[in-house]
């Protein structure tokens, strides 16, 4: 029996997802993509999980798709593989709970796309990012051509996508690809501290923010503002809002219940 390509460990409301193929730098084979999709479904459906951290075992986050699997694919197989990857990463992003990437080394190709699918990215100072698919005669298939320009802008994204060049963590931070750069020794601790700070906020409000930002990017500004106003109104009827305001006025930490 083969070991799972993804280790899932739930501790104190956080699911720690660790890509577990260090011998191949955590290349995303079909089994790893399937495991990520299953983990996303668990995160979305398990009330005891409030958020997740994604990282890689060993010295790499992930070097992307397993090239050995790509070698024999034809047009239909390639399209199917891309759709499976997009679905798994999309499920992680749309689980309704914050997901933080702790990027500990190489994040190339599909590995970079996995990091992009997370809501926030904390990088080790040794991390390296890139979308080298054009060097294989391909394009990114797991969302890179769409999420990267939405995150860093059209010009910067095209520079990376068209050249296949790699950038270090400092440059990734400068262009907005990552949110924080920290020493490798404290990477997981910093990612966890960031996520736990988010989890002190009202869970209904956090879910609403994730949804509004994700959907609003594909709407007109007027429609997106209308959605924001509707969410503001709905949250005004929750116990969480009542508790949040009471706690603020009493100068005490809130005790949110997600209702």
- Catalytic positions are 113, 133
Which 3 state secondary structure label does DSSP give 49?
A: coil
What the block records as the tokens of 228 is: 């924001």
Q: Which residue pairs from 30-34 have beta carbons closer than 8 angstroms and sit at least 24 positions apart in sequence?
A: 30/66, 30/69, 30/81, 30/84, 31/2, 31/4, 31/5, 32/5, 32/6, 33/84, 33/85, 33/88, 34/84, 34/88
Alpha helices, DSSP H only, in the chain?
30-45, 67-70, 75-93, 110-117, 144-152, 154-163, 169-174, 187-198, 203-216, 221-235, 239-250
Using CA of residue 77, residue 82, residue 86, residue 89, what is the dihedral sign? positive
Query: Which residue in this structure is represented by tokens 């002190």?
Result: 200
């Amino acid at each position: 029996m083969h070991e799972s390509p993804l280790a899932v460990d739930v501790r104190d409301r956080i699911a720690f997802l660790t890509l577990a193929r260090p011998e191949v730098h955590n290349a995303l084979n079909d089994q790893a993509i399937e495991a990520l999709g299953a983990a996303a479904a668990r995160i979305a459906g398990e009330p005891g999980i409030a958020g997740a951290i994604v990282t890689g075992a060993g010295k790499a986050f992930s070097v992307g798709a397993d090239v050995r699997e790509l070698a024999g694919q034809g047009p239909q197989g390639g399209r199917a593989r891309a759709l499976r990857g997009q679905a798994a990463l999309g499920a992680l992003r749309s689980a309704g709970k914050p997901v933080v990437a702790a990027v500990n080394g190489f994040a190339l190709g599909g590995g970079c796309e996995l990091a992009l699918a997370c809501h926030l990215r904390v990088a080790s100072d040794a991390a390296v990012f890139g979308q080298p698919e054009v060097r294989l005669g391909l394009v990114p298939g797991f969302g890179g051509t769409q999420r990267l320009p939405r995150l860093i802008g059209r010009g910067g994204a095209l520079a990376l996508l068209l050249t296949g060049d790699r950038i270090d963590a400092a440059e990734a931070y400068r262009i907005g690809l990552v949110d924080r750069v920290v020493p490798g020794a404290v990477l997981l601790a910093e990612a966890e501290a960031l996520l736990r700070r988010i989890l002190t906020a009202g869970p209904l409000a956090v879910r609403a923010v994730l949804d509004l930002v994700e959907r609003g990017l594909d709407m007109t500004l007027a429609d997106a503002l209308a959605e924001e106003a509707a969410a503001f109104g709905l949250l005004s009827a929750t116990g969480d809002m009542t508790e949040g305001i009471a706690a603020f006025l009493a100068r005490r930490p809130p005790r949110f219940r997600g209702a």
